[in-house]
Every structure is written in C-alpha cells, then in structure tokens.
Amino acid sequence: MKLLTKEKDTAIFVPEKKMDVVVFRDDDQYTAYCPDLDLATAQDSPEAAIEDIISAIREYVEDYMKNFETYSKSPNRKQHLPLIQHIVSLKDDWELREIIEVRYGDIYIRSV
C-alpha cells in the first residue's frame, strides 16, 4: 500500500497497481481488454464493459484454479500464475478493483 495523503486524523492508502484494463470504443461497442490475462469483453457502455471484464477475470481465476495442473504448465497461461495467486488472495471485487488501472484509448487495425 502506498500512502497517498495524510492529514491530521486521516490517511488515504492506495494499493500499488497490479494490472491494466484498457477500454476502447469500436463503433457502438466498448471493449475492455486486460493484457495481463489476455481477456476481453464487449458491451454497450464503458461502465458495462468494465463490470464485464471484472466478472471475466473472476471466472478466469476460478477456471485457472480448477484446471491448475493444465493451466500452470500451458505456454500461453503459465505466466499468469503470480497474478492469479494475488487475485485469489483478495477478499472481494472492491479489492480487485483497487489493483486494476483502467485506461481509455483507441484501437487502430492496420491492414496487411
């Protein structure tokens, strides 16, 4: 935890960021993408996309733990293990939100 500010009787602590979520608009849809876990969701609003990615993260963590022997050895998933272990240690979605840094951006697809 990092001390953000301290007044006479009040201190605000902010957890260190652990993972990114990028929200971008594509026509009438908003996509939330978590590059740290290679997850993406699409919804009709940025807020709904963020809610959906949080649910997707929770579901992925649950799947990872259920299939631990396979996922922890898989070339495209084994690097997720430290983050998965950290998320498992969180008490609730509020703590999950505390470690997510949401950024807003644009996506450009280059034609080949």
pLDDT, one tens digit per residue, over 6-17 is 566 676 666 676
The CATH number given to whatever domain includes residue 51 is 3.30.160.620
With a CB cutoff of 8 Å and minimum separation 6, the contacts of 44 are 28, 29, 30
**Cα 16–85–11 angle (5° rounding)?**
25
Residue 1 lies in a domain: no
pLDDT-derived band at 65 (thresholds 50, 70, 90) equals: very high
Residue 11 lies in a domain: no
Residue 62 lies in a domain: yes
Residue 3 lies in a domain: no
If one counts the domains in the chain, the total is: 1
Residue 64 lies in a domain: yes
Residue 5 lies in a domain: no
Residue 35 lies in a domain: yes
Residue 4 lies in a domain: no
Tell me the pTM. Answer: 0.83
Burial 55-91 (b: 16+ CB within 10 A, else e): ebbeebbeebeeeeeebeeeeebeebeebbeebeebe
For residues 21, 32, 48, 90, the Cα torsion angle rounded to the nearest 10 degrees is -40
2-46 pLDDT, tens per residue? 555 556 667 666 667 689 999 999 888 999 999 999 999 999 999
Domain of 47 in residue numbering reads as 17-105
Pairing mode of beta strands 39-43, 29-34: antiparallel
CB 39 within 8 A of CB 33: yes
d(CA 22, CA 30): 10
Residue 21: CB atoms within 10 Å: 24
